[in-house]
Amino acid sequence: MDTFVFIAVLLAAACHAGWNALLKLDLEPMVAIVLVAAASGIVVVPFALHAGPPNAPAWPYLIASVVIHIGYYAALAEAYRSGELGLVYPIARGSAPLLTAVLATMLIGERLSSYGWIGVVMLAAGILLLAVRGGRQGRRFDARSVAFALLTSLTITAYTLVDGIGARLAGSPAAYTAWLFLLSGAAMAGWGFARVGSRLANDLKANWRIALAGATLSTAAYAIAIWAMTVAPIALVAALRETSVLFATLISTFLLREPWLAARIVATLLVLAGALLLRAT
């Protein structure tokens, strides 16, 4: 993988962990996610107008991605309702790279080298170790949070493949990204209004700084990822993007006061080794 693409995707991973951490602050997760998604739609309006609409062949993928993203946001909100960042985030992100790599090989014919496959497997193993052994001692197994985290991982796989193909057909990754956030933001605002009514406007007024920060981080993270998938194999970008769990681990440990355990150190080393193998691919 090209060095510039590698560094850019790592930056995207850090941004992604940052906006997920915001969901565990003062707001109820569902409200926080709706506000971030709606604010993202507002943030990208100038970019959507400047870039114009994507090419016609990309629109079926764009619409499909909006639908999948609504499922992603809903599942993520339910996972965070009772689950720790240090549990939910690794499960949601960790099982997606392997599934994405397998489906990218089967459906669109992308072939990874042996180093690429080893890197993906090591990265996924490190992430899942964080989920299984990286939380609080004596932490109660929360089947509901784990189930929704796994559902989130399936939606991640789905939208990654859809957006990787759609962005390549769009003629402009920037146009595809801007319209994706514009449409999904509008859809999520409607969904949130249906769930909580006029309270949503009051929540946005009271928490617009968190919403804007989350929107900026979320938009930047996925814009970089979508661009990277147009210049590098989707499976490699998807796997490297999940190094975001390292940043989430640091945030959960030092800001959210979740524990730093020996298992997290081992998992971190596995993720780093996997990332280096992906860089060498």
Q: What is the pLDDT along the chain (281 residues), one digit of tens a residue?
A: 788 888 898 888 888 777 767 765 566 777 888 888 899 999 999 999 999 999 999 999 999 999 999 998 888 888 877 777 667 777 777 777 777 888 888 877 777 778 778 877 887 787 777 666 655 555 565 678 778 888 988 898 899 999 999 999 999 999 999 999 999 999 988 888 887 777 777 887 888 888 888 889 889 999 999 999 999 888 888 878 877 777 777 776 666 666 656 666 777 677 777 777 776 66
**For position 257, what pLDDT does the model report?**
65
Nearest to 39 by CA among 219, 227, 198: 219
The 3-state DSSP class for residue 242 equals: coil
Dist. CA 246–CA 130, nearest whole Å: 9
**For position 213, what pLDDT does the model report?**
87
CA neighbours closer than 13 Å in the CB half-sphere of residue 102: 9
Q: Do residues 77 and 134 lie in contact, with contact meaning Cβ atoms separated by under 8 Å?
A: no
**For position 31, what pLDDT does the model report?**
82
pTM of the model: 0.79
**For position 133, what pLDDT does the model report?**
61
Dist. CA 129–CA 263, nearest whole Å: 7
Tokens of 208: 């617009």
CA neighbours closer than 13 Å in the CB half-sphere of residue 274: 31
**For position 244, what pLDDT does the model report?**
76
> What 8-state DSSP symbol labels residue 77?
H
Annotated domain spans of the chain: 3-280
**For position 211, what pLDDT does the model report?**
86
What are the backbone dihedrals phi and psi of residue 63, each rounded to the nearest 5 degrees, phi first? -65, -45
Dist. CA 74–CA 189, nearest whole Å: 12
Dist. CA 156–CA 150, nearest whole Å: 10
Nearest to 153 by CA among 101, 109, 230, 88: 88
What are the backbone dihedrals phi and psi of residue 157, each rounded to the nearest 5 degrees, phi first? -60, -45
Tokens of 145: 């949070």
**For position 281, what pLDDT does the model report?**
63
**For position 57, what pLDDT does the model report?**
96
